[in-house]
Chain A
């Protein structure tokens, strides 16, 4: 992914690829995700940008990671890792950064436990 490419710009293509791989049409995915039928089309044409909430639901419906849908990894089920995960990380002071790191570790453990068969 090019640095100048925002995650939401990668998302339309990733969503379409994952949907087609799972053999779903747009209406079927919309139904599975509890969204309006037109929403998937809007996401795939890039006319509507996703929220994190949308991403979570779509990733769950397609059995891929949100990291895949955001173009941060190349495989459907891969995770991007624990760094660079939140806003203004670079400018956080020591105690905030420590807390963010602890939270990330906790979330990572949970994500990995969920990912176990």
Chain B
């Protein structure tokens, strides 16, 4: 199955910039790169939650302010890289500069702001985790949550952003689920798992499957706040329905002040359709058929 990603170009732009800068090792330092471009980078005071980042311009002079209240270097790097997305992506001048009246709100309806935000997010992921550096790291990172933790430490990115990038880049059937309470906040599935026949795709805003480790985990709020981490097994059917009862791995970690839970579903060893067909006909051949 071929899926088209409307924001893939934003990732490509970011990766080309990193390559163009001659960077050959992780982590990428978005603050340093911005400063090298003559852009001021300023931390917002801790007590000021507000927006995660903003790009400020006066003619050809630029500054980026980023939030620090999460006390998470990965979150800060993503915020700065997101604002660099608005700076480097073609067409974002239309999103950032208001119209003639001076009121940004007056332009509501002109164009979806979400499109620009989604592009800047995809830029940030590609900028901090460019494929030419992320792929080799991914090969050595292991599997499941441990792989995501290793990659996050290497890239100085948040577990959340790294987990999403992991599903975009891995060749394995993997899904990550971000949940809060009993609800799936959002989820990402790797191409390999999207291509598995006979399973239901996970959908955001759906309820968490009840008989899963994640569902039980989220019933204890301190698990999330204290960043509790567990590695368990689960069943493909519990998460994805279908007719195959296959054991899979389910790693779960609380994301602390972010208030959400990250679940990684992996070790999903689905038999080849041809093997399954062969097995089915073998079973058929051994099943006694009685004449009525």
Contacts and interface: CB of A to CB of B under 8 A. Distances in A.
Does A pair with B? yes
A86 B62 CA distance: 10
Contacts of A84: 97-98, 102-104
Contacts of B54: 86-88, 92, 96, 100
B229 interface: no
Interface of B: 37, 40, 42, 44-45, 48, 50-51, 54-63, 65, 86-107, 110-111, 113
B192 to A, nearest CB: 34
Contact of A99 (B60, B65, B113): B65
Contacts of A95: 45, 48, 50
A2 B86 CA distance: 23
B105 A91 contact: yes
A3 B99 contact: yes
Contact of A52 (B48, B51, B86, B100): B86
Contacts of A35: none
- Considering the complex of A and B, which 10 residue pairs feature the smallest CB-CB distances, nearest first? A107-B58, A49-B91, A107-B61, A6-B94, A96-B50, A84-B102, A84-B98, A49-B90, A3-B99, A103-B56
Given A3-B101, A100-B65, A107-B56, A86 B110 contact: no
A93 B54 CA distance: 12
Contacts of B45: 95
A53 B14 CA distance: 13
Interface residues of A, number: 49
Given A51-B87, A85-B57, A96-B48, 20 more contacts: A3-B101, A49-B94, A52-B62, A54-B90, A55-B60, A60-B60, A65-B60, A82-B58, A86-B55, A86-B57, A87-B55, A88-B51, A88-B54, A88-B113, A99-B48, A103-B56, A107-B40, A110-B61, A111-B58, A111-B59
B105 A111 contact: no
A55 B62 CA distance: 12
A87 B87 CA distance: 12
Contacts of B40: 103, 106-107
Interface string A1-17: 11110111001000000
Interface in A34-61: 48-56, 59-60
